[in-house]
Chain A
Amino acid sequence: MTFTADEMMAVEASRLLTNGNVCFVGIGLPSLAANLARRTHAPKCVLVYESGAIGAKPTKLPLSIGDGELAETADAVVSVPEMFAYWLQAGRIDVGFLGAAQIDRHGNLNSTVIGDYATPKVRLPGGGGAPEIATSVTDVYVMLRQTPRAFVEQLDFKTSRGDRVRAVVTDLGSLESRDGELTLVRVHPGVSIDDARAATGWELAIADDVAETEPPTRAELEALRSLETSVRE
């Protein structure tokens, strides 16, 4: 089966999750990847949405974190102060999926502004849950399309810290943190190391043994496509 770069990215990100994980999920690509993991190899992975749904099991892909089905299918629905204090801060969530507008070589993320804070070129939505997700979970996974505008030498604003960023999955390949520096470890089928290098705004560290990402299986692709067509009306 043929597949797109975005599909490869979602499938590869879903493979990071295991049955033992409790995962904090945002809307967009992370939600797609996490729900795909639940439908394929990690049906027992617990999904937590910051709106308060703990252990949500949506049958369709939610359009917003407030989607009613998240509350209807959750193990528990909690208030926002409880979510951040008793669940996230207390260490009950071990994986966090984050996106951003910019990332640097240490995995620090910017989702606040492009340009100067006081007189920004682009005002972005802001950090939301990300600053404390990035410092409270054990493993942070980032999903971000790889371009020189997004993979920058110097962030315009550090919204969240990169210390716990273990892996970054892009539309070109996968990076892992090695000695605090994001290092290219896999490229997706059809992508070269030079492609990844050219899409990075810093001198990209390359692992000695860069492998090719395992292409999506038929089961993975079918599950992904059925999820994508299921977005609730």
Chain B
Amino acid sequence: MAETVTLAEAVRELVHDGDTVALEGFTHLIPNAAGHELIRQGLRDLTLVRMTPDVIYDQLIGMGAARKLVFSWGGNPGVGSLHRFRDAVEHSWPSPLELEEHSHAGMAAAYAAGAANLPFGVLRGYDRNDLVSRTRVAKIACPFTGEELAAVPALRPDVGIIHAQQADREGNVQLWGITGVQKETVFASARSIVTVEEIVDKLEPRPGAVVLPGWVIDAVAEVPGGARPAYAHGYYRRDNEFYTAWDVISRDRDTFTSWIQEHVLEAVPT
């Protein structure tokens, strides 16, 4: 049953050094505030999972929180490269970063298998490209037709973290707009944290919404603006200028470190 707590309490209680942690939100509802809390609490040695690591993962990687990254596309959307991610892979700064690299289709299938508590997912994919030797994939034959398919081991993070628009006072959560892979993340993970824009008396049904009953979630924290600088459909728009500015901030190690000091470490926890 979801406990309504502060974000700091949720992270302290549910995330530990060495955990496999997935923060999801496919270009929308990205749990940026939760990522900052991971940095503030100085978590280390994490295996970070995310289909589209962007600015928040660049920050976590640049602060040395991650030992390993499981991902399928790592960039600054609409802008270019992630410089902290590149520095970690190309120069092991501030520490080496092990990669487990997937395609979107493969990683989505692995999340869906994890959510279903199956050992692996199946797809028609990873067809004779060089990713095959760099990821966890095996060929299997369909037992009914013999068709050759790709099997990917289920993703089972220790902790799944997402951001949603609303929760009610019982901790039931509703998110809408582009809902990405967040439902699968919560179901695939052993523990889950959901930050929300607001806690309301009653969830009004929204077209195309994902509703997660409170009893499948461990902690709900009210964090208005918790997706910024990404956007939250119905609440605020994407801060495109920040994404462009990040390209400059993140290029230089010292500029990056000072930015984190000022905007994350010394920022008042929510």
Interface residues of A (CB under 8 A from B): 27, 50-53, 63-68, 70-71, 76-77, 79-81, 83-85, 88-89, 112, 117, 119-132, 135-136, 157-161, 232-233
Query: Is the Cβ of A161 less than 8 Å from the Cβ of B230?
Result: no
Cross-interface CB contact of A112 among B127, B130, B184, B231, cutoff 8 Å? B130
Given A51-B178, A80-B108, A126-B74, CB of A131 within 8 Å of CB of B28: no
Q: Of B10-18, B38-46, B75-83, B260-268, which binds chain A?
A: B75-83
CB distance from B229 to the nearest CB of A (A): 11
Query: Is the Cβ of A129 less than 8 Å from the Cβ of B104?
Result: yes
Tell me the complex Cα distance, A73–B75, Å: 26
Q: Which residues of A contact B82 (CB under 8 A)?
A: 125
6 interchain pairs, CB-CB under 8 A: A79-B184, A81-B184, A85-B105, A125-B75, A126-B74, A135-B127
Query: Is the Cβ of A122 less than 8 Å from the Cβ of B180?
Result: no
Cross-interface CB contact of B130 among A76, A84, A159, cutoff 8 Å? A159
Tell me the complex Cα distance, A81–B240, Å: 27
Query: Is the Cβ of B124 less than 8 Å from the Cβ of A136?
Result: yes
CB distance from A89 to the nearest CB of B (A): 5
- Residues of B74-105 contacting chain A, CB below 8 A: 74-75, 77-78, 81-82, 85-86, 89-90, 101, 103-105
Tell me the complex Cα distance, A85–B177, Å: 20
Query: Is the Cβ of A159 less than 8 Å from the Cβ of B78?
Result: no
Tell me the complex Cα distance, A91–B54, Å: 29
Interface residues of B (CB under 8 A from A): 26-28, 51-52, 71-75, 77-78, 81-82, 85-86, 89-90, 101, 103-106, 108-109, 111-112, 123-131, 134, 177-181, 183-184, 208, 210, 230-231, 233, 237-238, 240
Given A66-B28, A85-B109, CB of A79 within 8 Å of CB of B180: yes
| Top 6 A-B residue pairs of the complex, sorted by shortest distance between their CB atoms | A66-B27, A125-B75, A128-B73, A132-B105, A84-B105, A131-B103
Query: Is the Cβ of A159 less than 8 Å from the Cβ of B26?
Result: no
Given A68-B177, A120-B90, A128-B72, CB of A85 within 8 Å of CB of B28: no
Tell me the complex Cα distance, A117–B85, Å: 14
Tell me the complex Cα distance, A80–B50, Å: 13
CB distance from B58 to the nearest CB of A (A): 12
Given A66-B26, A123-B89, output 14 extra A-B contacts at Cβ < 8 Å: A51-B28, A66-B230, A68-B28, A77-B208, A79-B184, A80-B51, A81-B181, A85-B105, A85-B108, A85-B109, A123-B85, A126-B73, A127-B131, A132-B125
Query: Is the Cβ of B134 less than 8 Å from the Cβ of A117?
Result: yes
Q: Which residues of B contact A80 (CB under 8 A)?
A: 26, 51, 104, 108, 180-181
Given A80-B181, A127-B103, CB of A65 within 8 Å of CB of B77: yes
Q: Which residues of A contact B52 (CB under 8 A)?
A: 128
Query: Is the Cβ of B178 less than 8 Å from the Cβ of A159?
Result: no
Query: Is the Cβ of B178 less than 8 Å from the Cβ of A52?
Result: yes
Nearest CB to that of A50 among chain B residues?
B104
Query: Is the Cβ of B109 less than 8 Å from the Cβ of A125?
Result: no
Most chain A beta-carbon neighbours within 10 Å: one of B27, B101, B105, B183:
B105
Q: Which residues of B contact A161 (CB under 8 A)?
A: 127-129
CB distance from B106 to the nearest CB of A (A): 8
Q: Which residues of A contact B86 (CB under 8 A)?
A: 122-123
Q: Which residues of B contact A64 (CB under 8 A)?
A: 27, 77-78, 238
Most chain A beta-carbon neighbours within 10 Å: one of B77, B108, B130:
B130
Tell me the complex Cα distance, A32–B77, Å: 15
Query: Is the Cβ of B181 less than 8 Å from the Cβ of A79?
Result: yes
Cross-interface CB contact of A66 among B77, B125, B134, cutoff 8 Å? B77
Query: Is the Cβ of A81 less than 8 Å from the Cβ of B238?
Result: no
Query: Is the Cβ of B104 less than 8 Å from the Cβ of A159?
Result: no
Q: Which residues of A contact B111 (CB under 8 A)?
A: 81
Tell me the complex Cα distance, A66–B128, Å: 30
Q: Which residues of A contact B75 (CB under 8 A)?
A: 125-126
Cross-interface CB contact of B105 among A77, A131, A233, cutoff 8 Å? A131
Q: Which residues of A contact B231 (CB under 8 A)?
A: 66, 68
Q: Which residues of B contact A131 (CB under 8 A)?
A: 103, 105-106, 125-127, 129, 131
CB distance from B213 to the nearest CB of A (A): 18
Tell me the complex Cα distance, A112–B86, Å: 12
